[in-house]
Amino acid sequence: MKQTAKALVTVIVFTVLLLGGLLFINRGSETQATLNIVAVNFPGYDFARAVVRDVPGISLQMLVSPGAEVHDFEPTPEDIKAVKSSSLFIYTGGESDAWVENLIKDLDDTKIVKMTNIVATVEEETVEGMENSDEAEAEDEVEIDEHVWTSLRNAAKIINQIKNDLVEPDPRHQTQYEQNAKSYTDQLASLDQKIQSVVKNTTRNTIVFGDRFPFRYFVEDYDLKYYAAFPGCSEQTEPSAKTLAFLINQVKSEKIPVVFYLELSNRKVAETIATATGAKTLELHSAHNISEDDFEGGRTYLDIMTKNLETLEEALR
């Protein structure tokens, strides 16, 4: 009797240990990411998030903090470590990402998506009335306009590249990646159609920004004309009297109903123009970065661009 009880206890203890061990191993393999994706800013993060939807074992990280000024971004030592150990690294490739090039030079095991290499780029432009940085003029430097993702068509190309760079190291989930990419790019294509039809069905084709202007690729897709206070990545926030007067005059003479400001902007220039002209101010969101609340709430690039269509419609009325 005593012997049997002892044997029983031994069996129970052994079984518990064995099950525990199996559970532990199982949990280990579930949480261990097979692919680490690191994106510098929100567009890359959003595109990758859409492509890996419902695929297990993926870790995805955005380096720029939600709500932060993207042009001031400096990587921390942890960020650098994350980039070096990533399986896929996504960045824009413009002036703001100048820190990247040296870092990724000898990364052999990392797939790299550089957005400005995937699409046709244009140089940053200074249009009539726009504040020109004296610095840029003095050095006569022309930068690539890095805001390539503001074109929905460019976004689709970038998404497809991300998909290809995930299928290669992880062919087991090829179908899932392909379905996800197709679903997202189909939705972007349908939104693109809607924007085209809004632009086609209005007589107005000029928009005014009392702000920086990162929408070059967007307006080129729809043949829109624009005036803005500053170029795309400008650090300037105080326009000259001449720039203000020019923009106010354009809004008045063309009876432009809406003056745009950017996301995370102090809106001051747009409000000054609006007060002087009676126009209203609205946000056109470039998706360069999003607020903490939007990030937590899972707001997507598609959500942002869908809202932009609504706003644009009002501005072109």
- Judged by CB under 5 A, the stretch of 19-27, 126-134, 227-235, 265-273 that binds Zn ion is 227-235
Tokens linked to 31: 């949480």
Q: Are 226 and 213 in contact (CB under 8 A)?
A: yes
CA dihedral sign, ordered 222, 223, 226, 232: positive
Q: Which of 153, 65, 168, 70 is nearest to 112 (CA)?
A: 168
Tokens linked to 92: 């824009």
Q: For Zn ion, which is the closer residue by CB, 71 or 204?
A: 71
Judged by CB under 5 A, the number of residues near Zn ion is 1
Measured from the CB of residue 275, what is the shortest distance to Zn ion in angstroms? 27
Alpha-carbon distance of 35 to 59, in angstroms, equals 6
CA distances from 181 to 44, 162, 271 (A): 13, 9, 39
The structure tokens 């690039």 sit at 301
Question: Could you say which residues in the range 120-139 bind Zn ion, by CB under 5 A?
Answer: none
Q: For Zn ion, which is the closer residue by CB, 40 or 233?
A: 233
Measured from the CB of residue 24, what is the shortest distance to Zn ion in angstroms? 47
One of 224, 233, 244, 273 touching Zn ion (CB under 5 A): 233
Measured from the CB of residue 75, what is the shortest distance to Zn ion in angstroms? 17
Alpha-carbon distance of 55 to 37, in angstroms, equals 13
Residue 64 interacts with Zn ion (CB under 5 A): yes or no: no
Measured from the CB of residue 135, what is the shortest distance to Zn ion in angstroms? 16
Closest residue (Cβ) to Zn ion?
233
Measured from the CB of residue 185, what is the shortest distance to Zn ion in angstroms? 24
Q: For Zn ion, which is the closer residue by CB, 39 or 251?
A: 39
Give the β-pairing of 206-212 and 88-91: unpaired
Which stretches of the chain bind Zn ion, using CB under 5 A? Answer: 233
